[in-house]
Amino acid sequence: MTTTKEIMPKDPSLLPYETSFYFHTLMKAKKFVEVLLHQQLWFFGNDIKIHNKNLLINHGFKQVRPLKGLSGSTIYIYRTDEATLVLWGFGVFLSERNNKGVYIGRYNFYPSLIKDELLNFPICAPSNLPEMKYPESVEDWDYCFRLISEFFEWIASYELWVNWIMGSSYRKTCLKNWDQSIVSSDEMSWAWNKVADFFSKNLEFHEKSKKYLFQNHWFDSQL
């Protein structure tokens, strides 16, 4: 298995100009998102322990336990015609219709692409994940940023749903046994919307920048 830490570029200065924008944008949010995602996965862990009311299953997820005799993380899979979302205690995976997808580890917010191999469930440990690579091309980074933003928007809506189903006091109770809180229980949805907006706006800004640069090159060629 190739870990996220191993596949991160050792020297960011060697990144091509076209992709360095994405890398530096990611670094601006990295530490905050790592702590926020750590807290969110703690919340998911609480949500599946409610007696006769597993919130992830009630929200439409399918539960897949490790094979008999094997230890590891229970998997929660949510599928639509358009996308797949997989939650583990150690990370998340998100993809569109095809097999191409993005994996994000719990403790290292750096997207890893899983492109050329089907996810054969149950995958109950990081060591069972297929080979991964970090984003290299502009297309890779665009894809990662878009899925990351959509995933964060989904979490924001999920948190609103939890508060509606369980009441605002439920998340406060979840935080009582959590000593690493970065955001209050009332602000989780807001925080995820903010980071989702951060990635979508930077993606949009970069798209405009690319068009501007192209127009300038075209103009220069006419001189």
Over residues 187-210, the mean pLDDT reads: 82
122: preceding bond cis by omega (within 30 degrees)? yes
pLDDT over 90 (residue 33): yes
Q: Identify the pLDDT of residue 214.
A: 39
User: How do 91-95 and 101-105 pair as beta strands?
Assistant: antiparallel
pLDDT digits (tens, 9 = 90+) for 125-172: 888 888 888 998 888 999 999 999 999 999 999 999 999 999 989 999
> What distance in Å separates the CA atoms of residue 142 and residue 77, rounded to the nearest whole number?
24
- Confidence band, pLDDT 50/70/90 cuts, at residue 15: low
Q: Identify the pLDDT of residue 152.
A: 97
pLDDT digits (tens, 9 = 90+) for 81-124: 888 999 999 999 998 876 679 999 999 999 999 876 667 777 88
C-alpha angle with apex 66: 131 to 48, nearest 5 degrees?
A: 105
pLDDT digits (tens, 9 = 90+) for 34-89: 999 999 999 999 999 998 889 999 999 999 988 777 778 899 999 888 889 999 99
Q: Identify the pLDDT of residue 213.
A: 40
Q: Which residues of 71-110 are buried (b: 16+ CB within 10 A; e: fewer)?
A: ebbbbbbbeeeebbbbbbbebbbbbeeeeebbbbbbeebb
Q: Tell me how far CA of residue 200 lies from CA of 102, 151, 170, 174, 191, in angstroms.
A: 16, 11, 30, 30, 14
Q: Identify the pLDDT of residue 28.
A: 93
Give yes or no for a contact between 38 and 106, defined as CB atoms under 8 angstroms apart. yes
Q: Identify the pLDDT of residue 207.
A: 61
User: Hey, CA dihedral for 86, 87, 91, 94, is it positive or negative?
Assistant: positive
Over residues 160-185, the mean pLDDT reads: 91
The predicted model scores a pTM of 0.84
pLDDT over 70 (residue 217): no
Percent of the chain with pLDDT over 90: 50
Give yes or no for a contact between 96 and 114, defined as CB atoms under 8 angstroms apart. no
Residue that the structure tokens 């508060």 belong to = 163
- DSSP letter string over 91-127? EEEEE-SSS-EEEEETTEEEEEEE-SS---S---SGG
Average pLDDT, the chain: 83
Structure tokens at 84: 């797949």
Return the C-alpha torsion angle 103, 97, 209, 29, nearest 10: -30
